[in-house]
Amino acid sequence: MSTSENISDIKATESAPKRQLERARVDFSSTKTQMLLGALIMCVSCLVAYGQTVLVTFLGQDLTYIQAIADTLHGSFDLVLANPTSILLIDYLLYHTNTLGFHVSNILLTASCAIVVGLITLELTGRLGNRNGALSAIWAGMLFSVYPLHAQSVAIVSGRIELIASLFYLLSVFLFLRYRLIEEKQYFPLSLISGALALLLSAQSLSLPLVITLLALHPGRNRYAARKNALADAISCSGLYWLMAVLSFFIHPHYLGPVDKKTLLLLFFPVNETVISVSKIVPLALVPLLCALMVLLLKSQIAKIRLNQRTQTDLIGSVPTPPSSTITALILVVWLALTILPLTAHDSHLFLAAAPFSILIAILSLESGNTKDKDAKLLTSCGLVAMTLLYLAWSYLLAINLKPTVEGSLIVENFRRQLINAATIDGNITLTNWPKNHQGVPLIGAAENIKLFLAPPFIDRDLSPGLKVMNETMPISDSNKIYQWQQAHGLLASVAKADSQPFSSSNMPWSASSKDYFINLLKGSPWQLVDSTSPGASSSSIVSSSAPVISLMKNSVRLWAGDKQAILSLNDKIDQPVLQENRWILKIKIADHSASTVDLAVRNYLDETKMSKLAGKRIGADIFFDLRELDNYLSNGESQQIGIVVAAGEVVSISGVEFVSVKSAQ
């Protein structure tokens, strides 16, 4: 539209005598509208991000929780009060054991949390003067909705406790901020109630009173407060929260968790290490944060110049300067620190910590503080770029983190189906192993959980009495049919209890007399054999300097690794090690007074690439290797082979290798 047309339009409206109704329109400049739209976008963002989780089955502790609820409905009420999972009761009534419903509730709860995070940001930015509409609020909510460490809290049904506790926690904070805004009394009791619920549900809410106190001390506090002294005011309005927190100690006596140094790192590199190595995502995780940091630096510098200009030109009028965002940021940093402290985060996946983190990032990079229009626009656009980058990066990382849960769910479903079949056909069965976890996601935690699969409410009949689960470190001693879960094939296979074969290495102590054994052993391997007991045969003692050497001595055998690490495979194939308890502990005898040590290599007999190393325990001259420590050895159902690892450049003298029984090793 050209300028002339514009002017004529205005003239036309001015000259029109007839009064016209204002045309119905959406006022996008209104914060309320922006926020409403923002809430919708957050919901969509959550649905898109977590959509793939709706078909995830019950994992980890879910089964026990559901079982407890089912028991409750059948008249056994003793569990319900002690168990925080009774909040799943409504879901159970609605959906029974259909996981879809549980997951939809979880996603909706996450979306609500995101919206409340947005609202809190709105309240905080409102106190800083220029809040850029609901821009930072929406971005805070959006960032929260895709924070990558939410994966397990949202995708696993029992993550619900954390979701609800966080929701009440955040609501309590938001309502408190509303109450402080213009002293609207009705919000205060509401905030207290949510706070109480949050404290009741989860130990991580313990940080609530401190956060409330800090927010009460925020300089942007309302001017209608009853007490003029800031400290007295803050104490008076946060006192009740402290009281509640103290009372909550009676419900959660075990606040102190183990200190995990990795938590802080996890905050910035939120990725499941078993899926992708942290080093691979460093640029992805850091670049957006660095961008945000640059925006922040730029902002502070511009603000400084503006301040200088103003003081120099003496333009300071009577307009009170709103408090700088620094105080807000500091409060948020403290909040963040509280949520990741081991004191309160012993069982969380940083779900709550994501709230102050997202708010902090959004406020620091988007809220443009006291600067004037021209800079503000530039800064906001820079900030928006950073936020978009961060959102995309986090969405990607979230997708990575969700993958193991979804895959794990398929594994559990598959296992469950086959288990029910086996139990139906054979009646009495013994299970040697089961899918325990998949890339850091717990699948079926305790052995007792497996019995739940074979009982109502998950199936119609109760097949659980016929099931025995083998305690993996103790030998089997009954005549049930034995089943083994073979993770690589996704198969629950029945196995026959085999007679144990002799192990050739253990037949003799290693020395020159076992020359024939070594000649057989070394066929096709790079090892060179030297018989050092026969004097004068020096021509046979010239060996290649790069390949590993075995030198036979009178009472021992000396292994020389070349420039590279060398593995001496002991030629025996070990079938079904889980059923052969005399193949569980290996003893290697080292020659006297030697500090040198060796590792054990355990590899798949057919697939050389599947190899793991085991360090032994030294007792005198013997090194004991407890092969039960290796998950792959016992329970993946495939034949195994073991070997001795000699590190590059090392020389070891070994005088014997043998398997010993579990009893004698103890």
Partner 1 sequence: MNVIPQISKPASAEPIEGSSRLFTALAVGVIVLVNLFTFRHSFGGYFLADDFVHVDYLYHAIDQNFMPLLANFWGNWMQAQGTTFYRPLISLSLALDYLIGGPNPLTFHISNWLYQTVASCLMFLVAGQIGEHFRPNEKTLNRSLALSAGVIFSVYPLHCEVVNWVIARVDSIALVFCLLSFWLYLKSTRSKNSLHYKLSLLAFVLGLMSKEMAVTLPPTLLLIQLLSTTTADTKSAKGRLLTSLNQTKTFWFILFAYLLFRLLVLGTVSGGYEGSVGQGLSNSLARRWLDGSLLRILFPFNIDVFGSKHSLSLQLKIVYVAMLVNFTATLVLAKSRSTAVRGLLFAVGWLVLSLLPTYQVWNLTPALQGSRFIYYGTAPIALIFAWLLFPTEERNWPVLSSLRLAAAGWFSIILLIITTGNNQPWNHAMKEVSLFRKAVTEQASALKATDKLSLLNVPHTYRGAHMLYNAATMSVLLSKPLTPEAIYSKVISFEPATFGDPDLINISRWRNKTGQDTSSYRWDRTTMTLEPIVFAGENYNVKLPGLDLSEQTKFISPELSLSAQAPDYVDVLLKKEQIKQWPEAVITLTALAPSSLQCQFSLPLNKARADGHLRFDVSEHKQWLALGQINQLTLSIQGLAPQQQLHILGLETGNLQGQRPKIESDEKTLVEDGDGICRPRGKMPSFNYDASIVPGAVSAYVEVSKPNSWFEHYSGTFRDTSKSPEALFSHTLGKLKGNGVPITFTGVKGPGFYQMRMAALDQDGNVIGYFSDPLNFQL
The verdict on 321 binding partner 1 (CB under 8 A) reads yes
Q: Phi, psi (5° rounding) for residue 132?
A: 55, 45
User: Cβ closer to partner 1: 384 or 647?
Assistant: 647
Using rule CB under 8 A, residue 620 touches partner 1: no
Alpha-helix runs per DSSP H in 427-521:
448-453, 515-521
Candidates 316-324, 331-339, 405-413, 579-587; binding stretch for partner 1 (CB under 8 A): 316-324
Of 277 and 301, which CB lies nearer to partner 1 in the complex structure? Answer: 301
Residue 642 · residue 547 · CB < 8 Å: no
Nearer to partner 1, 267 or 307 (CB): 307
Binding to partner 1 by residue 334, rule CB under 8 A? no
Dihedral sign (CA 122, 126, 127, 132)? positive
- Two tokens at 413? 């479903």
Site map (CB under 8 A) of partner 1, residues 284-303, x = contact: ----------x--xx-xxx-
With b for 16 or more beta-carbon neighbours within 10 A and e for fewer, the 271-290 pattern comes to bbeebbebeebeebbeebbe
Interaction between residue 378 and partner 1 (CB under 8 A): no
Phi-psi region of 51 (alpha: psi -120 to 50; beta: other; left: phi over 0): alpha
Q: Which is nearer to partner 1, 121 or 556 (CB)?
A: 556
- Piece of the chain touching partner 1 by CB under 8 A; list 77-85, 111-119, 463-471, 648-656: 648-656
For residues 450 and 552, which CB has a smaller minimum distance to partner 1 in the complex?
552
Q: In whole angstroms, what is the distance from residue 552 CA to residue 511 CA? A: 6
Nearest to 386 by CA among 299, 296, 298, 289: 289
With respect to partner 1, which residue has the nearer C-beta, 501 or 540? 540
Single residue of 253, 320, 502, 524 touching partner 1 by CB under 8 A: 320
Contacting residue, 130, 532, 569, 571, with partner 1 by CB under 8 A: 532
Q: How far is the C-alpha of 131 from the C-alpha of 119, rounded, in Å?
A: 12
Of the candidate spans 142-150, 329-337, 378-386, 651-659, the one that interacts with partner 1 by CB under 8 A turns out to be 651-659
The CA-atom distances, in angstroms, between 419 and each of 276, 423, 472, 474 are 31, 6, 18, 22
- For partner 1, which residue of 467, 530, 568, 634 counts as binding (CB under 8 A)? 530
Integer Cα distance of 487 and 651 in angstroms: 38
544-563: which residues touch partner 1 (CB under 8 A)? 544-546, 549, 551, 553-554, 556, 558, 560
Indicate the residue among 330 and 606 with the shorter CB distance to partner 1.
330
Would you say 229 or 639 has its CB closer to partner 1?
229
Residue type, 404: P
Is 471 a binder of partner 1 (CB under 8 A)?
no
CA distances from 144 to 184, 265, 415 (A): 28, 18, 35
651 lines the binding site for partner 1 (CB under 8 A): yes
Q: For residue 411, give both structure tokens.
A: 């594994």
**Which residues make Cβ contacts (< 8 Å) with residue 261, sequence separation at least 6?**
none
Distance CA 446, CA 431 (A): 13
Q: Is 219 in the site for partner 1 (CB under 8 A)?
A: yes
CB of 552 to partner 1, least distance (A): 9
**Which of 477, 538, 664, 666 forms a contact with partner 1 (CB under 8 A)?**
538
Q: Is 283 in the site for partner 1 (CB under 8 A)?
A: no
The answer to whether 296 and 386 are in contact (CB under 8 A) is: no
Q: Please say which residue, 500 or 532, places its beta carbon nearer to partner 1.
A: 532
The reply on whether position 488 binds partner 1 by CB under 8 A is no
Determine, following the binding rule CB under 8 A, whether residue 539 of this chain makes contact with partner 1.
Answer: yes
Alpha-carbon separation of residue 433 from 494, 578, 611, 632 (angstroms): 12, 9, 20, 11
Write down the least CB distance from residue 328 to partner 1, Å. Answer: 11
Total residues found in the chain within this entry: 666
User: What is the distance of C-alpha 429 from the center of its chain?
Assistant: 34
Helix (H, G, I), strand (E, B) or coil at 471: coil
Q: Is 185 exposed, middle or buried (0-12, 13-18, 19+ CB in 10 A)?
A: exposed
User: DSSP assignment, residue 440?
Assistant: T
Q: At what angle do helices 208-216 and 230-248 cross, to 10 degrees?
A: 170
Identified binder of partner 1 from the candidate list 513, 541, 639, 661, rule CB under 8 A: 541
Site mask, partner 1, residues 561-600, x = CB under 8 A? ------------------------------xxxxxx----
Measured distance CA(476)–CA(470) in Å, rounded: 7
Q: Can residue 477 be called a binding residue for partner 1 (CB under 8 A)?
A: no
**Min CB(509)–partner 1 separation in Å:** 15
DSSP-assigned letters across all residues of 248-310 = HTTT---------THHHHHHHS---TTTS-HHHHHHHHHHHHHHHHHHHHHHHHHHHHHHHHH
Tell me whether strands 557-560 and 651-660 are parallel, antiparallel or unpaired.
Answer: antiparallel
Under the binding rule (CB under 8 A), the answer on residue 217 touching partner 1 is: yes
* Cβ closest to partner 1, residue 546 vs residue 609: 546
Please, what is the minimum distance in Å from the beta carbon of residue 358 to partner 1?
A: 24
Indicate which single residue of 236, 480, 533, 571 sits in contact with partner 1 (rule: CB under 8 A): 533
Q: Is 279 in the site for partner 1 (CB under 8 A)?
A: no
- Containing 642, the helix (H) or strand (E) segment is strand 640-646
Here's the x/- map for partner 1, 221-260, by CB under 8 A: it reads as: ---------xx-----------------------------
From 537, 606, 615, 648, residue interacting with partner 1 (rule: CB under 8 A):
537
Residue 230 or residue 614: which is nearer to partner 1 going by CB? Answer: 230
Instruction: By CB under 8 A, name the one of 323, 342, 466, 509 that touches partner 1.
Output: 323
Q: Which residues bind partner 1 (CB under 8 A)?
A: 217, 219, 230-231, 294, 297-298, 300-302, 304-305, 307, 311-312, 314, 316, 320-324, 327, 530, 532-539, 541-546, 549, 551, 553-554, 556, 558, 560, 591-596, 651-653
